[in-house]
Structure 1
Amino acid sequence: MTDQASTSPRASRPSLTPGMRSSSFLKEHQQYRPPQKPESHYGIDTVVEDLQTASTSQRRPSLFKGIPSPENPPKIVDSGVTHDLTHPNCTPRPGSYTDRLIATIFYKTNSPRASNAIRPPQSPPSQKGSQSSGGAADSSIPPTMAPSSSIESFPLEPPEAEPEPLDHLYGSYVSPMCITAFLSLMSTFPLPQGATEVTSSHRCLKLDASQEHRPVVVELTLCPAPSPDYLPLNDLRKHEAIYRFEREWNVDIALRRDTLARRYPRLVVFDMDSTLITQEVIDLLAATIKDPPDLAARVADITHRAMLGELEFDSAFRERVKLLTGLPETIFEELRPVLNVTNGVKPLLRALKKLGVKTAVLSGGFLPLTSWLAGQLGIDYAHANEVVIDPETRRLTGEVKGRIVGKERKRELLIEIAQKEGIALEQVVAVGDGANDLLMMDAAGLGVAWNAKPRVQMEASARLNGDSLLDLLYLFGFTDEEVQQLIA
């Protein structure tokens, strides 16, 4: 009897093993039904079963089995839709902070770069006038090469040949291969202590206007950012690997921390000459003087060298103003119709005004034209140099009133305006093109080099080399659809 009791049916009853379990409580606990029913059986059960085999049986079962864990995250798989309910890059745990790096990639569609891996033969020596500008005209070095466009300025040896332009192979836009190559490059930099891998995501901010609609501005988010102890952000921006990548793919890359200040600027400060307008005002003034005939070229040469940082701006400005002695006071009014506003400036300022962002122009030029242009564009603050006018002849005396609005003064004015408006410097953006803009760009939370000189390209926080200053909005994370709404 004891042996029969130990081998009772209850002891050998079958049960569901963990591998046989599904995610459905009903399926696991429903009563047993025979696989087939008699043909004479009709009723609602038959109708329901027929519907299940006809439609609902096409649904794929959930892939999730067992208890949710980091190894088995909860996942919904239904009707071709897969959604993972946990995202390691979504948000940090309470009390912790994740340092994210934002890389905005701009494809330079209007400035295709031909291969120069094999350098062309040197052109014959140019005339004296072109050599005075630094030798850029008679050198095969690209104009954005840092620290100089002159081969004589390199102390050791010429730079190595530029890499092949890969956008010619993989597409004239921010291609998937471009993004993959950039992520691979960023993975070579050391991570913060305790981090083992980098997660990334991307958004296409702008598509080109062609029928292909390829992405030309892409925002990448990398988490975590490379270790600041090993490579601070300012050094990372100037890293040779980043620079060569930009040359390979014909792109500009702006690297920024993912902070509130990045998405919500409150003050944008502009340089005027070659930034808000495409010309240099002092060169326009010099061009009106016909005697001596080479005056315009001499002034333009001094301007160019000052913007490169080869000359001290304050003394160079006084020297140029001396050359303008005798011009009539009305010359500033005569130049108003000649000023050519940079493409994208008007819609950009309209968008900034809608966002409630204050604007300012800090110019190393002349106050009469700077104030007039600020009024035309709706800019809140305008500062520039005041020239002395002879009260009897109403002509320029060649002197300047007060302090020159040079690099130090621009920085002071930026800080003064920010303090007056109660704005933190982290929420200030400064845009310029010359060496006299570097100090104000350094004081701002973001300094943007706009089609700038080589030294400025390397020193600035970000650089834009497009044909529209409206591209500035993409640095704040706006998509093209949002930009269009702002400028409407």
Structure 2
Amino acid sequence: MPLTKTFPAWNLEAGAYGGRRSSSYLREHQQYRPPSKPENHYGIDTVVEDLNATSITPPQQSYASFTQFNGVPSPENPPRIIDSGLNHELSHTNCAAPPGKKTSRLVATLFYKSNSPRVSNNAVPSPRKGSSPQPAASELASSDLPASMAPRSSLDTFPLEPPTSEPEPLDHLYGSYISPLCITSFLHLMSTFPVPAGSADPTSSHRCMDNPTHPRVVELVLSPAPSPDYLSLTDLRRHELIYRFELEWNVDVVLQPDTLWRRHPRLVVFDMDSTLITQEVIDLLAATISDPPDLAARVADITHRAMLGELEFDAAFRERVALLKGLPDTIFETLRPVLDVTPGVKPLIRALKRLGVKTAVLSGGFLPLTSWLAKELGIDYAHANEVIIENGRLTGEVKGLIVGKERKRDLLVEIAAKEGISHDQVVAVGDGANDLLMMDAAGLGVAWNAKPRVQMEADARLNGDTLLDLLYLFGLTREEVESLTS
């Protein structure tokens, strides 16, 4: 059977168990639990509003009006079984489409950003974490977008009027996880987008991907998806209402069409610096040079500006390499033990290999280190820049094409063609402006703790502690991830 409703909601208005929506989202998502089964532990699927003042029996119908389903479903005999506390629908919204029809479902994966909590201006203490002081500017995540700036395709398209006030964070009030009210708020938001003409009433279901009580990752399936004639998926991902929802609830929202390719990628391509590893290799190289003393700072500044997209990557890379002239070629071997692999990368590559997914690293760094790291991790393809070495020292020049944004895109296309893989089944992960063309060529481009411009333009944004979160975008649960990585 397809995905079952794991957010069972008694529709108090219509009298159908999760089949039709009422006029109240809060009431719609209240779960009825029989008195004979007291529940002392409240989790994500329990009541979100006090039931004392609410009548559980629908006004138009009651349990007595339902009979156990027998025979062929019809309006008089709905395919519903209610007997001895059992309530089961024999058909639901996630069934396959009728012959000649196509499904129109949107998958929204919500990630709670536990590594970068927002603090309320009202200083209301968290019921779980207690009060905490306002973080200093230096402590804020560098990947965060400026307040009140929704993702856009270009920095030039920002409105000229003064920005609106930043929304009040709600996670410290309703739970430092994906709470029921967070889900309800998101469903209410999505209901404001028009659906295709002639569509049935919108429905939704959800799964807690990691923890049923205090989930950090929740996957929602919305049917039908908002009308592409009104709003394309690209524009929907960058909609200001969704961005403000993310700010309010301290979450990242990833929207994907519910297709076969989402669940079965065949090639995952990674950037290396600040993606597979936490550092920038060229900055590490510059740090080994003591004369002139400001060289490391100069190289780091050029690197930062290039990653933000302020400088053309190819020219900036050649300028930085020229500053490294005279370094011994043994420096690459010296740096191997210094490389800090991003948390989650090793089990992620292991899981992808067990799934039969090809992997590649396309780096704007240096081939000796990129090839070595790819071999250590078990990555199938590795491409990077090759520096010229004479008499055992770097000449400050680069051999062949620079692996910049155009070259990364071309290499992704070449690898996919060699493996016979459709671009719809390619995922690209990066953090800098030189990764944007590569990410655009893939079926799904993922910005990993990325620079603001990349966060705005990417299909998906992940700002967590572990790159293993990527597997949740494929619809895998924590239990399945643990099976793949054990």
Equivalent position of 1:261 in the other structure: 261
Q: Distance in 2 between matches of 1:198 and 1:80?
A: 27
1:181 maps to which of 185, 189, 192: 185
Could you tell me how far 1:158 is from its partner in structure 2? 4.7
> In the alignment, residue 182 of structure 1 is paired with which amino acid?
F
Q: Distance in 1 between matches of 2:354 and 2:294?
A: 46
Equivalent position of 1:449 in the other structure: 447
Q: Distance in 1 between matches of 2:93 and 2:215?
A: 27
Could you tell me how far 1:70 is from its partner in structure 2? 3.9
1:405 maps to which of 379, 403, 406: 403
Q: Distance in 1 between matches of 2:409 and 2:195?
A: 34
Equivalent position of 2:288 in the other structure: 288
> In the alignment, residue 307 of structure 2 is paired with which amino acid?
M
Conserved? CA contact 2:69–2:81, under 8 Å: no
> In the alignment, residue 174 of structure 1 is paired with which amino acid?
I
Distance 1:399 1:65, change over 3 A: closer
1:475 maps to which of 473, 476, 484: 473
Conserved? CA contact 1:261–1:427, under 8 Å: yes
The structure where helix makes up a greater share of residues is 1
- What secondary structure sits across from 2:119 in the alignment? coil
- What secondary structure sits across from 1:284 in the alignment? helix
Q: Please list the CA deviations of residues 425-455 of structure 1 after superposition, one character each: whole Å capped at 9, or x if unmatched.
A: 0000000000000000000000000000001
Equivalent position of 2:424 in the other structure: 426
Equivalent position of 1:226 in the other structure: 226
Conserved? CA contact 1:116–1:161, under 8 Å: no
> In the alignment, residue 110 of structure 2 is paired with which amino acid?
I
Q: Distance in 2 between matches of 1:478 and 1:142?
A: 26
Q: Where do 1:242-321 residues align within 5 Å?
A: 242-321=242-321
Q: Distance in 2 between matches of 1:140 and 1:88?
A: 39
Equivalent position of 2:370 in the other structure: 370
Question: Structure 1: where are the runs of 5+ without partners?
Answer: 1-58, 119-135
Equivalent position of 2:325 in the other structure: 325
Q: Distance in 2 between matches of 1:312 and 1:298?
A: 16
1:162 aligns with 2:166: yes
Could you tell me how far 1:116 is from its partner in structure 2? 5.0
Conserved? CA contact 1:60–1:78, under 8 Å: no
Q: Distance in 2 between matches of 1:182 and 1:469?
A: 25
2:207 maps to which of 203, 207, 214: 203
Distance 1:382 1:156, change over 3 A: same
Aligned length: 405
> In the alignment, residue 402 of structure 1 is paired with which amino acid?
G
Percent pairwise identity:
74
Q: Distance in 2 between matches of 1:138 and 1:382?
A: 34
Equivalent position of 1:337 in the other structure: 337
- What secondary structure sits across from 1:82 in the alignment? strand
- What secondary structure sits across from 2:216 in the alignment? strand
Could you tell me how far 1:89 is from its partner in structure 2? 3.7
Could you tell me how far 1:141 is from its partner in structure 2? 10
Could you tell me how far 1:464 is from its partner in structure 2? 0.4
Distance 1:180 1:153, change over 3 A: closer
- What secondary structure sits across from 1:269 in the alignment? strand
TM-score (norm 1): 0.79
1:460 aligns with 2:458: yes
Distance 1:474 1:71, change over 3 A: farther
Larger Rg: 1
Conserved? CA contact 2:307–2:432, under 8 Å: yes
Equivalent position of 1:76 in the other structure: 81
Question: Structure 2: where are the runs of 5+ without partners?
Answer: 1-62, 124-136
Distance 1:62 1:225, change over 3 A: closer
> In the alignment, residue 206 of structure 2 is paired with which amino acid?
H
1:415 aligns with 2:413: yes
TM-score (norm 2): 0.79
Q: Distance in 1 between matches of 2:409 and 2:180?
A: 40
User: More deviation in 59-68 or 466-475?
Assistant: 59-68
Distance 1:155 1:117, change over 3 A: farther
Q: Distance in 2 between matches of 1:265 and 1:83?
A: 33
Q: Distance in 2 between matches of 1:398 and 1:70?
A: 78
- What secondary structure sits across from 1:207 in the alignment? coil
Q: Distance in 1 between matches of 2:429 and 2:191?
A: 31
Could you tell me how far 1:180 is from its partner in structure 2? 0.4
User: More deviation in 193-202 or 86-95?
Assistant: 86-95
Equivalent position of 2:32 in the other structure: none
Could you tell me how far 1:159 is from its partner in structure 2? 2.5
Tell me how large the CA RMSD over aligned residues is. 2.6
Conserved? CA contact 1:107–1:250, under 8 Å: yes
Distance 1:82 1:163, change over 3 A: same
Q: Distance in 2 between matches of 1:355 and 1:139?
A: 36
> In the alignment, residue 167 of structure 2 is paired with which amino acid?
P
Q: Distance in 1 between matches of 2:310 and 2:290?
A: 27
Q: Distance in 1 between matches of 2:122 and 2:427?
A: 37
